[in-house]
Chain A
Amino acid sequence: MANVTGIPVYKKIGATPVPVTAHDQARVVIVGAGPVGLALALDLGRRGQPVTVLNRLDFVAHCSKAICFSKRSLDILDRLGAGDAAVEKGVTWNVGKVFWGASESPIYQFDTLPVKDQKRPGFINIQQYYIEEYLLDGCRALPNIDIRWGHTVDAVTALNDGAELTVTAVDGSYKLRADWIVACDGARSTVRDKLGLDFEGRVFEDNFLIADIRMKHEMPAERWFWFDPPFNPGRSALMHKQPDDVWRLDFQLGWNIDREAATRLENVEPFIRAMLGENLEFEREWYSVYSFQCRRMARFVHGHVIFAGDAAHLVSPFGARGCNGGLADADNLGWKLDLVLNGEADESLIETYNLEAVATADENILNSTRSTDFLTPKSKASQALRDAVLELAKEHAFARPFVNSGRLSTAVSYAESPLSTPDEDAWEGGVAPGMPVLDAPLADGWLLDELGNHFVLLACGGDQPVPPSVRLVALEPNGLAAQRLGLMPGASVLVRPDQYVAARWQQPTPTAVETALRRAKGETLCLQ
């Protein structure tokens, strides 16, 4: 619905009139214009597909929501043409520090970008609405992307070769028949609900307060996390810098609280003042209380209705695996749906989205669940174990890797992907099939920028015959890119359109490359 009260507006857009026909049609309908829906729309749009996006609100909301965007997400935004804007505006950071009690020196610290000399940092912090704006700018520049603001899905009927939606806007309702529907409509997904589908997994009994505030404050651009600080005794807290002098403060509140009361000014401000000083001058940006779940749908593909992002899976925010996990979904799905829409791949390729996105969600849920169990011990035994780790970590190196304040999002490996051709040659290091290509500087730019949107053969020394749909990129022998990929002269790597390695050879033959390419497009799938 348009003009929903209570949601602050970042950018007004206004309701889109309903189409002139009461029975409209589209090839692909994306439900939800959040970061995941917009990233997918932009990816498909840039590939030349006509895309219709439906968004319930007729504005971009002014809530910080997701703020930590990982290197992998920046690589994806780069591919979509939105990376520079994000990095220019965002606060770049790599280091996280963990504090315990009142001590001013960290008991543990980590670097989110262990391999240096890559184009993008481990993370940037930036308000979600900026990312939405940059993706929206890209979408609006393309005539084949039709975003309908203030259009709500009221009913979903799944069909064998598509789905029909009933859509309501301020000036009427209409039917929309689509070949494919992608639901990117968030944790409370209407599409999921209307199809009677649900999540499986754990719900955690704890509440956290987000206080995004505007203030002048000097602190390095790092992620600071406290266990049992004097300003929130017995619980945890987090502090993170965003652009525009906005800071994210996050306080663990416990389970039995009055959630309604918790975001009232008189209840939030004591937390802020206890942390940062009684006389602190600040303005409220966004206050919110959340609890969380680590759950996912059993399957993300239901016929021609596909789920992505929070609509498909939920994690705790510790680890920044929510929005980054959703962008990984969009990245995985875009090229596959494009090939299927073009008739260049069989529909069964979409089933590999289900496999790979479920694998990603499972890794995110596993890490997020483990972090949560460390942050909020559920028994006396786990509390004692957690506190023993923190105690020992101050002095002893062996205890530090146990300290878990959130394992931050990195690219997930598709170890079991049916699209990968397993290694037949012997390799020392490099990037194995099912892993994303590691970035490296080239003579004039960066390796990942060379990959583009389609299949690429990275050949050490160049001069390889390639199939017509594959672009050859020659790598200088002994250069850093070739070294990171473990390539000796004559060796090569076949890279998927989402920058994942599909296959590699010490001495490839044209037949081997052709076979691996067909496999990566799902032509030889053997799905259980």
Chain B
Amino acid sequence: MPAVNLGTNLSDHDALYEALVRLHDGLSDEESLRLWARLTLILMNHIGDRDVLLAAMEKARKG
């Protein structure tokens, strides 16, 4: 059992995707990058599980 859930765990993907795109409306590239960072930190805190976060980081790095 992998620590990080990579199966489908959301519904209404299109609406969430749209919200994520809209979030960047009017931002410069630098501001966008900072926004991604803030969002990641907020979500990390919410998840609150070190093993899951490290596994997720490894997956994200691999692409």
Minimal beta-carbon separation of B26 from chain A (angstroms): 9
Within 8 A of A (CB), among B20-54: 20-21, 24, 27, 29, 32, 35-36
Indicate if B58 sits at the interface (CB-CB under 8 A). no
CB-nearest residue of chain A to B25: A379
Pair B18/A379 contact, Cβ less than 8 Å = no
Indicate if A20 sits at the interface (CB-CB under 8 A). no
* With contact pairs A373-B18, A392-B63 given, residues A398 and B10 touching in the complex (Cβ less than 8 Å): yes
Minimal beta-carbon separation of B50 from chain A (angstroms): 21
Minimal beta-carbon separation of A483 from chain B (angstroms): 25
Q: In the docked arrangement, what's the CA distance between A392 and B27, Å? A: 25
State which of A217-225, A277-285, A327-335, A401-409 sits at the interface with chain B. A401-409
Pair B29/A381 contact, Cβ less than 8 Å = yes
Q: In the docked arrangement, what's the CA distance between A151 and B6, Å? A: 60
Pair B17/A374 contact, Cβ less than 8 Å = yes
Q: In the docked arrangement, what's the CA distance between A134 and B9, Å? A: 46
Pair B24/A379 contact, Cβ less than 8 Å = yes
Q: In the docked arrangement, what's the CA distance between A127 and B14, Å? A: 30
CB-nearest residue of chain A to B11: A401
Pair B32/A380 contact, Cβ less than 8 Å = yes
Indicate if A396 sits at the interface (CB-CB under 8 A). yes
Q: Is the interface of A mostly helix, strand, loop or mixed?
A: helix
Contact with B along A366-394 (1 / 0, CB 8 A): 01001001100101111001001101100
Within 8 A of B (CB), among A395-418: 396-398, 400-402, 404, 407
* With contact pairs A379-B32, A392-B63, A398-B9 given, residues A385 and B14 touching in the complex (Cβ less than 8 Å): no
Q: Is the interface of B mostly helix, strand, loop or mixed?
A: helix
Pair A398/B17 contact, Cβ less than 8 Å = no
Minimal beta-carbon separation of A345 from chain B (angstroms): 36
* With contact pairs A381-B29, A381-B32, A382-B24 given, residues A370 and B7 touching in the complex (Cβ less than 8 Å): no
Chain B residues closer than 8 Å to A367, beta-carbon distance: 14
Pair A397/B6 contact, Cβ less than 8 Å = yes
* With contact pairs A373-B21, A382-B24, A392-B63 given, residues A398 and B14 touching in the complex (Cβ less than 8 Å): no
Pair B18/A401 contact, Cβ less than 8 Å = no
Chain A residues closer than 8 Å to B13, beta-carbon distance: 401-402
Pair A397/B32 contact, Cβ less than 8 Å = no
Minimal beta-carbon separation of A339 from chain B (angstroms): 36
Pair B21/A397 contact, Cβ less than 8 Å = no
Pair A397/B8 contact, Cβ less than 8 Å = yes
Pair B18/A370 contact, Cβ less than 8 Å = yes
Chain B residues closer than 8 Å to A397, beta-carbon distance: 6-8
Pair B8/A401 contact, Cβ less than 8 Å = yes
Chain B residues closer than 8 Å to A377, beta-carbon distance: 21
Chain A residues closer than 8 Å to B10, beta-carbon distance: 398, 401
Pair A391/B24 contact, Cβ less than 8 Å = no
CB-nearest residue of chain B to A367: B14
Chain A residues closer than 8 Å to B17, beta-carbon distance: 370, 374, 385, 389, 402, 404
Interface residues, chain A, with chain B CB atoms under 8 Å away: 367, 370, 373-374, 377, 379-382, 385, 388-389, 391-392, 396-398, 400-402, 404, 407
Interface residues, chain B, with chain A CB atoms under 8 Å away: 5-10, 13-14, 17-18, 20-21, 24, 27, 29, 32, 35-36, 59, 63
30 contacts between A and B (CB under 8 A): A367-B14, A370-B18, A377-B21, A379-B24, A379-B32, A381-B24, A381-B27, A381-B32, A382-B21, A382-B24, A385-B17, A385-B20, A385-B21, A389-B17, A391-B63, A392-B63, A396-B6, A396-B59, A397-B6, A397-B7, A397-B8, A398-B7, A398-B9, A398-B10, A400-B8, A401-B8, A401-B10, A402-B13, A404-B17, A407-B14
Q: A374-B17, A398-B7 are in contact. List 17 more A-B contacts (CB 8 A).
A: A367-B14, A370-B14, A373-B21, A379-B27, A380-B29, A381-B29, A385-B20, A389-B17, A396-B59, A398-B6, A398-B8, A398-B9, A398-B10, A400-B8, A401-B10, A401-B13, A407-B14
